[in-house]
Amino acid sequence: MSFSVRRRGFVRALVGIAIATVVLPAPLASATTGSDAGSTTGSLHSSGLAEAVHPDWMAGLPDGAGLADLSLPGTHDTMASGASVFALTQDADLPTQLSAGVRVVDIRTRHFRNVFPIHHGIEYLNSNFTDVVVALTDFLRAHPSEAIVMRLKEEDTPAENTRSYEDTLNWYIDENPGTRDRLREHLWRPSDGYSGGLPGLGEARGKLVVLRDFDAVAWPGPRFGDASMAIQDTYELTGLGDVGRKWDLIRAQFERARTGSPDLLFINHLSATGNPAALVTGTVPVTVARGIPGVVGILPRTQEYLETVGPGRLGAVMADFPTAALVTEIIEHNFR
């Protein structure tokens, strides 16, 4: 999610508060650990994503398929599996997500001291860009039929740098011993005459396709939010009563993806959270995703819709806490 200046200041004040003092709805505060993929009320249970094992699902698709014309499981704030309750958006690590079938990742990096620590807003997520590159390229080396789309976003406020964000990224590509060989091998680069958009699957197999969400002078390839994409990312709710409104936006984006141009990448964020006032009363990513008693969450609403809607492209589906069943359903839409 994007953090406005107003939200960033608010969350900064809350980071030091113990999680136990957060006012969560009672059913959430007492939840126990376990798989609850089919629940329509939600809990703090695990998504059970590791139960989905689809490491090579793209092998069954023709090289001529366009990445933009596929149904792609994705994760929002992919690395936020160890964050505070305000920033927590995943409960599976990156290798588990990839093995389960996730093919669109959302990587947020702060530019700090000429390197890229991974952040969600102001919160450091105890990993760095090298860790991400290693995990992604290890997976692609083991599964060369697959392609990964990565939104790369500059997050939070840069500090103590002597070069631009773009220059630091080029350092990871050309100089950093931990990443240079991996990125030279697996980073997709447009060919001469590139006119925009995403490549076909044949060209992208074994590659990492970057959607640039940072300022750059000479970076080739698609920019997140450019004319080759249609994005739904309404993320700030006034409370859990807004979940129905958010779902209406998600469903409308699914319908647009089913009938839209095959060259246009439809990105549909299932993710949302509360505004500053709603955060402290329990409208956080996990409650929006899974719901609480009396409020059906986004994940069960999406699962029910996908199981009944019939064939058709879904686009890139960016979820918080995706379940094994949801990822499997998205993948299966490519083969109907």
Give the model's pLDDT for residue 65.
Answer: 98
Residue 173 has pLDDT above 50, yes or no: yes
Average pLDDT over residues 143-147: 99
Residue 3 has pLDDT above 50, yes or no: no
Number of domains the chain is built from: 1
Give the model's pLDDT for residue 45.
Answer: 62
Average pLDDT over residues 47-64: 96
Residue 221 has pLDDT above 80, yes or no: yes
Under DSSP, the state recorded for 276 is: H
- Supply the pTM of this predicted model: 0.88
Please report, for residues 125, 158, 188, 293, 294, the alpha-carbon distance to residue 26 in angstroms, rounded to integers and kept in the order given: 27, 39, 47, 10, 12
Show the CA angle centred on residue 327, arms to residues 241 and 240, nearest 5°: 10
Which residues 6+ apart lie within 8 Å of 259 measured at CB? none
Average pLDDT over residues 163-181: 99
At 301-312, the pLDDT tens digits run: 999 999 999 999
Tell me which H or E stretch contains 26.
helix 26-29
Helix (H, G, I), strand (E, B) or coil at 231: strand
Give the model's pLDDT for residue 192.
Answer: 84
- Domain that residue 309 falls in: 5-335
- Helices H / strands E in the chain, number of each: 12, 13
CATH of the domain at 269: 3.20.20.190
Least confident of 37-51, 76-90, 109-123, 299-313: 37-51
CB burial of residue 212 (10 Å; 0-12, 13-18, 19+): buried
Please, what is the average pLDDT of the chain? 89
CA-to-CA distance for 49 and 289, rounded, in angstroms? 14
CB burial string 295-331: b at 16+ within 10 A, e below: bbbbbbbbbeebeeeeeebbbbbbbbbbbbbbbbbbb
Kindly state the tokens that stand for 187. Answer: 């980073």
At 6-50, the pLDDT tens digits run: 344 444 444 433 333 344 443 333 332 233 333 333 334 678 999
Give the model's pLDDT for residue 15.
Answer: 40
